[in-house]
Amino acid sequence: MLFRSVVAYWATICAMEHPLRKFRKSQPVKVTLDALGRRVGASKSFLSKIEKGKKTPSLALAVKISEATNGVVRPNDFLAPGSGATNETAS
């Protein structure tokens, strides 16, 4: 049973789309990784790895990406699940 729940959990995680990719796909004019990379000073390859969850950007790059997406993608979107951080603002 535990094995099935772990498999189901990872299947759910793998099916989730990164907010950066969601942003790029949702734009009326497609935003390519190459164009975004030129804007934020990162390679297309590195941005692709971020979208796939294989790399985490520095705080400075996360802020640049947030600015380039007009705040749609927030720096907190790059934090690993279970890190204790949330996407909510403090009240």
* Average pLDDT of every residue of the chain: 80
Q: How far apart are CA 51 and CA 61, in angstroms?
A: 13
Confidence at residue 87, expressed as pLDDT on a 0 to 100 scale: 44
Q: What's the whole-model pTM score?
A: 0.71
Residues 37-81 have pLDDT tens digits of 999 999 999 999 999 888 999 999 999 999 999 999 999 988 765
- Whether the per-residue pLDDT at 84 is higher than 50: the answer is no
CA distance 2 to 5: 5
For residue 8, name the pLDDT band (cuts at 50, 70, 90).
low
Per-range mean pLDDT, top range of 20-24, 76-80, 87-91: 20-24
Pick from 38, 28, 27: nearest CA to 73:
27
